[in-house]
Structure formats: C-alpha cells, structure tokens
Amino acid sequence: MLEFCDTHCHLQFPQYRLNSEEVLERAIKAGVTLLITVGTNGADSQQAVDFASRHDHVWATVGLHPHHAKALALAKPSLTNLIKQPQVVAVGECGLDYYYNHSPKDEQLAVLEWQIELAIKNHLPIIFHIRDAYDDFWPIVDKYHIPKAVAHCFSAGSLELAEILKRGWYVGLNGIVTFSKDRGQLAAFKSVPLDKLLLETDAPYLTPPPLRGKVNEPKNVVTVAEFLSDLKGEPLEKIARVSTKNAQQLFGIK
C-alpha cells in the first residue's frame, strides 16, 4: 500500500463534526499513516498536543493563527510551554491574513515576528499562512534566517511560488488544487518541484470533489495526490513517496 502524510489538518478542533478516532482509522486504512494536527490558538494547540500524545500516527504543532492575533497575551504562556512537548514538530500555523482582517494588521505583524523568533529559538520549522498579504510578509520573514518552513494552503501564482522556492521552503497543496478554475493557480500548482511538495487537507475545510459540501478528513489527501499525479504527469507512487519523504525531512517524523 502507498503511504501518505497529511501535513496539515485540525482534528482537535472542538467544532470538528466527525468522530476523530473514526477519522484517524479511515485515514490509516486509506494509507495516510502520518498526520500533523495543527494549532491555531492557545486552547486548540493544547488539544492538538493531547490528541497527538494518544496516537502513534499523529504529531502536533502549536501556533497562533493571524485571525487570533489579538489573543497573543492570553496564548503566549501556553504556547511557550507547549512547544517543549515531544509531540510538537513545528510552530504554526502563523502568518498574515488580509482577506478577512479579523485582527488588525499591526497586531498580525507583531504576532508573526514573535512566532518566528519562538521557532528559531526552539529549532523548529514554521507553518506559514499567507493570504492577500505577501507584500508585507516578505520584509518580515527576510529579517530572519528561516531554513525550514512551508507555505501552507498555497493558492497564489508563479511569482509568489518563485519567492517561496528561492528561500528553500516547501509548498503545501490541498483540495484547492482539485477545484480551482484559475489557470494561473493551476500552472503554479503544476510547477511545484516534487522535492518541495507537501500534501495536506486542512480538514475540516477545503473538501475536494466529489465530496464538496461534506466535512473534510485526512483520508482525502489521497484525492489531492491523485489530482496532482494527473496534473504533473507523474506516477501516483512517486507523488506519495516523495511528498512523504519531504514531510519526514521537514518535520523530523517517521
């Protein structure tokens, strides 16, 4: 059986409407044998670590999503403590989101810098969330040396992809690739080098066809891989093998 890694899901979310134990069982049965459940605030980062600690196939990250940037003072002690847990393999997701602007830009920028410094101090990779904010993002990250990172949920174009690859980072692709009609996006997805490709679902969001409208789950990372296999003209076996190896290298998991 082919083995896959879902490098970005949120099984610990209290609002996740599926039974997480059953979801994990279905994922493993489908060949998704490595999963990373990603924190977005202090509370669900704790839940991510707790969930990972109970399952051999699961690791966790801790972070503050830009939507929650206003909560840094409350979340900082928790994140600082959680990052020492053995299940934690990255900081994030963190970044900038100007599409919704749930937090003021100045607070998003400050929280991003704090998390970059937290990751560097603890020698951990970073999961970046960037939406409609690349112009502000690059000057911030280029103040630091960030050797290991992934641009999660990549949905931009060739110019942004070139900047990500120039820094040696990975690119996370999910269900968006399966339903995007944007030719520029599809061209960028196709040109992501295999040695920089990570697969993800962002479950419970971004469910790929033909399951649109249903809650997403990690087993559907196989659907993403199948689509990319066709788009890139590469065997599914190669997509699975290389993307899983990339995840293991970036996050230090087995």
Residue 63 sits at φ, ψ, to 5 deg, of: -175, 175
Find the domain containing 27 and state its range.
4-251
The C-alpha angle 72, 74, 77, rounded to 5 degrees, equals: 90
Q: What is the pLDDT of residues 206-241, one digit of tens each?
A: 999 999 999 999 999 999 999 999 999 999 999 999
- AA identity, residue 80: T
Tell me the β-bridge partners of 91.
Answer: 62, 126
Question: What are the CA-CA distances from residue 110 to residues 77, 93, 103, 182, 204 (Å)?
Answer: 16, 15, 11, 32, 28
Give the bridge partners for 131, in sequence order.
97
Alpha-carbon distance 101 to 149, whole Å? 23
For 109-146, the pLDDT digits (tens) are 999 999 999 999 999 999 999 999 999 999 999 999 99
Give 49's Cβ-side CA count (13 Å radius): 23
Question: What are residue 5's phi and psi, to 5 degrees?
Answer: -125, 125
Q: What is the CATH number of the domain that holds 130?
A: 3.20.20.140
Q: Are 201 and 211 in contact (CB under 8 A)?
A: no
% the chain with pLDDT above 90: 94
166 CA to centre of own chain: 19
Domain count for the chain: 1
Model confidence, pTM = 0.96
Which H or E run includes 59? strand 58-62
